[in-house]
Amino acid sequence: MRKITLIATVLFLLLLNVRADEGMWIPYHIGRVIANMQAYGCKMTAEQIYSSEKPSIKDAIVHFGGFCTGEIVSSHGLVFTNHHCGYDAISTLSTKEKNYLDNGFWAGSFEEEIPAPGLSVSFLVYMNDVTDRVLNASDRSSEIKKIKDEATADNHYRADVKSYFFGNEYYLLVYETFTDIRLVGTPPQNIGKFGGDTDNWIWPRHTGDFSIFRIYASPDNNPAEYSSSNVPYKPKYFLPISLKGIQENDFAMIVGFPGRTTRYLTQAGIKSLALERYPERSKILKAKLAQWWSEMEKDVSVRLLLSGDYASYANSQKYYEGVMNAIKSSPCLAEKSKLEDAFMKWVNEDVNRKSQYGTVVSDLEQLYTENRELNNVIQYLAFGYSGVQISQLGESLAAIKESLSLKTPDQNALSQVIEGLNEEFGSYFQSFVKAADQKVFASMLRIVSQNLDKKYWVSCMTGKQLSKMKPSTGKDIYDMYAAYTYQNSILTDSTKLRKFMQKPSLAVLQKDPGVQYALDVNEMFGQYIGAVRAVNMKEEGLMKTYVKGLREFKSNQFFYPDANSTMRISYGQIKSYIPRDGVYYNWYTTQRGVLEKEIPGDPEFDVPTSFSQALRKGNFGKYADKNGDLPVGFICNLDITGGNSGSPVINGNGELIGLAFDGVWEGMVGDIYWEATKNRSIAVDIRYVMYVIEQMSGSQRIYNEVKIVL
């Protein structure tokens, strides 16, 4: 009987042409792929994974901070996520004296758990297909508003209506958001970020990329702002933790919030993004990171202040580099071109199709070609010019300047913009490191001068002051001009800026070189943003038509939409891979690799001494694999992307076996094009997580709280 069901399933899948492993599926439609999941070894039903009525796995998953995923692992609202997801909160809570980033932190009781202001987590309460309502409405945006209002009329939920498949489908998503989130534990970063940026995006991996938070709620279990009377949240569902171990080819699934993919890009679209825009972005970010690091490595406080942003820029920079590199050996361009040819052949067979889709592929190509220059300038504007912190107050300064320039300044309007600036003031200076920003400023002017036509230069670059600068040892004119600017601007000194705000004067604004830069950048945005938006809208419209056509063309296939920061389910298997000819990558790593990579005193490969000793001693007890080794990481062929970080890797019984945290170097094209043989997700094995907690906290507190399956 089982055999017959299996054969039926396989036939059914062949018929539907569902490609195994690829795909970020909408939980609401999990029924479409559950048979395939079960054929791989999933023991759960669709309802146990996603249900809008009964507690299901989806109730154990949170959108963490809006940029990552976390999972509930206890009846007291305990959340596991990645270390790199908690990184910003951990570094913000750290000081030179209480340096949790470098030394780790473990709360011994509820009272010791530290509020992380600004952090929030959201549960998906339910979702619904509202495509017909939206597409049939005469006024779509008011219909969307109506749908959201109805969903939140008698509750405290937040509703969102999102477009899928470029506006071919719409779904309502209803969320419950909690804002009292507290740090429970984190390993020191030489475990949590072991391998640093060198190992980032790379397998084999030995990073203990996890951190632990807790959701607090009001005594009646509802979301509430931080209060000492709040209590640990009682979740609808939480994931048990399996210490049973895993094998290659085991079924695995991931539920999380992938941020963005562009899998439907045409060949021309891929070229524009990955071969034209990414190289510029990578170059700009690389220059900025080098300047920041030169200041960070000198001073712990500076390092703590900048490390959150530094980590995220470094991650992006290496990502762009990885895509550019992997695309060289990827079949994506050839495959896309094959697909487009076949599509056009199908289109040209029929007059109706011809009138609908006849020019869509070439229109897209034309759009990219026509806007090549605009796209290029925008990279320098968004990543270069704006990457200098003093540009950030540009909009407020422009408003002040405008008010002051009136013949009779409107005092009311003026005090309003000053108030606005006052609000920005705190956060602006909070993460402002003058020396670091000055270096970035110089390096951004330099990189613009080398790469952009003069007509895109900010005014100072062709101005008198800069032309007067004389290079001195090791410093070029941009360094000299940066020094001059940062010495003479109200934007680099909180006292000077405060003084200006008390008595704003046009004369000060007019002669301040920093202000001039901020105003120039702001003006440039004004000049190009409209054009960029128009291009984006046009692209979206063409993509809507193209994807509609593709779905008709391949009508026997289930399509999954690009990631859009809404909940998705990916499934597949634990799997090794062959990165290149003659090389085989095993599917798991152990403590042996941590010790092999260990470099005492190195910022990326140092291992805490006591931990290194424990690893050497061995004896990993219930955490050991069948060889007596401590499992550290593993890979699976599940389809994920940024935003999935922290997602649970779940086995066929619905138990937690790991936390997903990265992708592999050879599969970097993944966000654009799925390549089954090279696309792998990296996870930290849950046994390593539990071992690190026990070893580093010296306590059974977490072990006793979670539900272990042995």
- Closest by CA to 159, choosing from 118, 119, 184, 126, is 126
> What does each C-alpha distance from 285 to 217, 319, 375, 447, 549 come to in angstroms?
40, 11, 17, 11, 38
Which residue is listed with tokens 């039926």?
A: 8
Say if CB 670 and CB 330 are below 8 A apart: no
Considering only residues 201 to 220 of the shown chain, the ones binding ligand ARG according to CB under 6 A are 201
Task: State which residue, 314 or 659, has the beta carbon closest to ligand ARG.
Answer: 314
Task: State which residue, 192 or 631, has the beta carbon closest to ligand ARG.
Answer: 192
The secondary structure of residue 18, as a DSSP letter, is: P
Burial bucket for residue 671 (CB in 10 Å: 0-12, 13-18, 19+): buried
Min dist CB 675 to ligand ARG, Å, is 18
The secondary structure of residue 272, as a DSSP letter, is: I
Considering only residues 280 to 319 of the shown chain, the ones binding ligand ARG according to CB under 6 A are 311, 314-315
Q: Which listed residue (21, 88, 180, 209) is catalytic?
A: 209
Question: Interface with ligand ARG includes 200 (CB under 6 A)?
Answer: yes
Question: Interface with ligand ARG includes 492 (CB under 6 A)?
Answer: no
Question: Interface with ligand ARG includes 196 (CB under 6 A)?
Answer: yes
Which residue is listed with tokens 């004067």?
A: 505
The DSSP code sequence of 464-498 is HHHHH---BTTB-HHHHHHHHHHHS-GGG-HHHHH
Considering only residues 63 to 92 of the shown chain, the ones binding ligand ARG according to CB under 6 A are 84
Count of chain residues binding ligand ARG (CB under 6 A): 12
Min dist CB 324 to ligand ARG, Å, is 16
Q: Which listed residue (56, 84, 250, 512) is catalytic?
A: 84
Task: State which residue, 200 or 389, has the beta carbon closest to ligand ARG.
Answer: 200
Nearest-angstrom CA–CA distance, 240 and 703: 11
Task: State yes or no: is 84 an active-site residue.
Answer: yes
Min dist CB 677 to ligand ARG, Å, is 21
Question: Interface with ligand ARG includes 642 (CB under 6 A)?
Answer: yes
Say if CB 91 and CB 104 are below 8 A apart: no
Min dist CB 540 to ligand ARG, Å, is 25
Min dist CB 514 to ligand ARG, Å, is 31
Task: State which residue, 206 or 271, has the beta carbon closest to ligand ARG.
Answer: 206
Min dist CB 61 to ligand ARG, Å, is 17
Q: Which residues on neighbouring strands pair with residue 659, listed in sequence order?
A: 648, 684
Cα atoms in the Cβ-side hemisphere of radius 13 Å centred on 111: 0
Among the listed residues 169, 197, 295, 437, the single contact to ligand ARG using CB under 6 A: 197
> What does each C-alpha distance from 657 to 83, 564, 627, 632, 645 come to in angstroms?
17, 26, 18, 11, 15
Alpha carbon 89 to chain centroid, angstroms? 15
The DSSP code sequence of 295-337 is HHTT-HHHHHHHHHHHHHHHHHHHHHHHHHHHGGG-SHHHHHH
Nearest-angstrom CA–CA distance, 164 and 389: 35
Task: State which residue, 235 or 308, has the beta carbon closest to ligand ARG.
Answer: 308
Question: Interface with ligand ARG includes 606 (CB under 6 A)?
Answer: no
Question: Interface with ligand ARG includes 645 (CB under 6 A)?
Answer: yes
Question: Interface with ligand ARG includes 671 (CB under 6 A)?
Answer: no
Considering only residues 176 to 195 of the shown chain, the ones binding ligand ARG according to CB under 6 A are 193
Which residue is listed with tokens 């052949």?
A: 345
Which residue is listed with tokens 């396989």?
A: 10
Min dist CB 321 to ligand ARG, Å, is 12
φ, ψ dihedrals at 64, nearest 5°: -90, 110
Binding mask 337-376 for ligand ARG (x = CB under 6 A): ----------------------------------------
Question: Interface with ligand ARG includes 94 (CB under 6 A)?
Answer: no
Min dist CB 627 to ligand ARG, Å, is 28
Nearest-angstrom CA–CA distance, 65 and 47: 27
Task: State yes or no: is 209 an active-site residue.
Answer: yes
> What does each C-alpha distance from 176 to 62, 107, 224, 275 come to in angstroms?
10, 26, 11, 40
Q: Which listed residue (307, 645, 647, 697) is catalytic?
A: 645
Min dist CB 175 to ligand ARG, Å, is 22
Largest separation between any pair of C-alpha atoms in the chain: 88
Q: What is the dihedral of CA 676, 678, 681, 685, to 10 degrees?
A: 110
SS3 543: helix
Task: State which residue, 210 or 457, has the beta carbon closest to ligand ARG.
Answer: 210
Question: Interface with ligand ARG includes 638 (CB under 6 A)?
Answer: no
Task: State which residue, 87 or 611, has the beta carbon closest to ligand ARG.
Answer: 87
Nearest-angstrom CA–CA distance, 670 and 330: 10
Task: State which residue, 200 or 261, has the beta carbon closest to ligand ARG.
Answer: 200
Task: State which residue, 204 or 514, has the beta carbon closest to ligand ARG.
Answer: 204
* Residues designated as active site: 84, 209, 645
Q: Interface with ligand ARG by CB under 6 A: which residues?
A: 84, 193, 196-197, 200-201, 311, 314-315, 642, 645, 662
